[in-house]
Structure 1
Amino acid sequence: MADRPTLYTCSGSRGLRATWAAEEAGAQIDLKMLPFPPRYLAPEYLKINPLGTVPLLIDGDARLTESCAIAHYLATKDGMTDLAIAPGEPDYAEYLDFTYHADATITFPQTVYMRFAIFEKDKGWAEAGQAYAKWFHKRLVKVEQRLEGRDFLCADRFTVADICVGYALILAEKVGLDEGVPEALKEYRERLTGREAYRRGVEREEAGLKALKV
């Protein structure tokens, strides 16, 4: 039997998109948890991924480092599943757009906020962090408008686009950005995090982190 894909990630990072997608798709993966930040606490990881970032998925000769791409890959590598939308299906364009929108437009200001307001707050950059917090909140308008009258973003079903966008909303709650999140998006997040596959993904990551004993 061929080796299973190996996912390297840190608990609760953007790699949760990949862990969650694997659970939703029933994709078998080997999960390798790393301490955060791996570039400092697991320097041997740099030999595998010189970027030092997570997630990283290795599947034979394939190497992917973008969480949304990995989620789509796991949802389709063994054939299309309901988690993805194929060319010719309704909302194919919207599926692609929101999947890319998740990181390029929504998660980006979050990561800058976290750097200034959390990781390096002792450097006096709190004001810059708050500016990026406002940027993040303003960037939610497209998702909010899309979800008017919908439970999910595309094709009247849960897809990778929901995983990718949903993670940004999950992260917002964790890092202190929830005050500016519209109530409708909080309700959307609750629908997503109520899914059994999401809970299994979180539990699997937490168990892997505990096994690290860090």
Structure 2
Amino acid sequence: MDCPKLYHSANSRSFRALWALEEVGIAYELEMMAFPPRSSCPSYLEINPLGTVPLLVDGDLRMTESAAICHYLGAKFAPDRLVPNASDPNFGAYLNYLHFGEATLTFPQAIVLRYGQFEPEDRRSAQVVADYSRWFLARARGIESFLSDGDFAAGSSFSMADISVGYAVMLSQFTGLFEDLPETVRQYWLRLQARPAYERAMAAQR
């Protein structure tokens, strides 16, 4: 059986999928791509019409949503270890924070990056950057909320939800917002960075 293949750009959202692959501990193939791949490699559109990363190919399956890929890999290759069973009391919190990391914490930072760094000078907007920076920092209180109950997003154990949230914290280092996060959140990020799978994922993309 062929192993899963991940199309990935360094430090992009696809890092979630790369980290998840290392956490489940399976063999995989990694295709590194310059960012944004739809511009740097037009032929990529033939296999992923969205032109985005991640793209996970597992047999006939194609997945492009980073949080969904984390859930899929955990449920398929590490059930009950990285994805709580539906009967687990922490299952609801797990799902909530799995999606919170992308929809609530990563989205505003994508806007900050676009209008602060990626757009041509004449299209950049200090007001947009300021507004969405405040949005992110206000929503980051949700991390403080779950840390008041334990060390991780879904209770006392690390799960794929921590990869989703953790990547959003990682991204804040590129948006310049990391130092504005509370100390408890920065300590949480240090715990995540200490995981061997995180270190392997960082090494794999270099």
TM-score (structure 2 length as normaliser): 0.95
Match of 2:158 in 1: 158
Runs of 5+ in structure 2 lacking a partner? none
Q: Is the 8 A contact 1:90 1:155 kept in 2?
A: no
Partner secondary structure for residue 167 of structure 1: helix
CA RMSD of aligned residues (A): 1.2
Residues 40-189 of structure 1: pairs in structure 2 closer than 5 A: 40-78=39-77, 80-120=79-119, 122-123=121-122, 124-189=124-189
What letter is aligned with 2:142? K
For 1:5, the equivalent position in structure 2 comes to 4
Please tell me whether the aligned partners of residues 117 and 130 of structure 1 are also in contact (alpha carbons under 8 angstroms).
no
- Paired with 1:121 and 1:154, the residues of 2 have a C-alpha distance of 40
Q: Deviations over 1:120-164 (max 9, x none)?
A: 261241221111111110011111111014111113100000010
Corresponding residue of 1:192: 192
Q: Is the contact between residue 27 and residue 74 of structure 1 (CA under 8 Å) also seen in structure 2? A: no
Which is bigger in relative contact order (C-alpha 8 A, separation at least 6)?
1
Query: Counterpart of 2:36 in structure 1: which amino acid?
Result: P
CA 1:56 to 1:27, structure 2 compared with 1: closer, same or farther past 3 Å? same
Runs of 4 or more consecutive aligned structure 1 residues displaced over 2 Å after TM superposition: none
Secondary structure of the residue aligned to 1:77 is helix
Residues in 2 aligned to 1:64 and 1:80: alpha-carbon distance in whole angstroms: 19
1:182 Cα deviation after fit: 1.1
Q: Secondary structure at the match of 1:54?
A: coil
Alignment of 1:25 with 2:24, yes or no, is yes
TM-score by length of 1: 0.92
Three-state SS of the structure 2 residue aligned to 1:58 is: strand
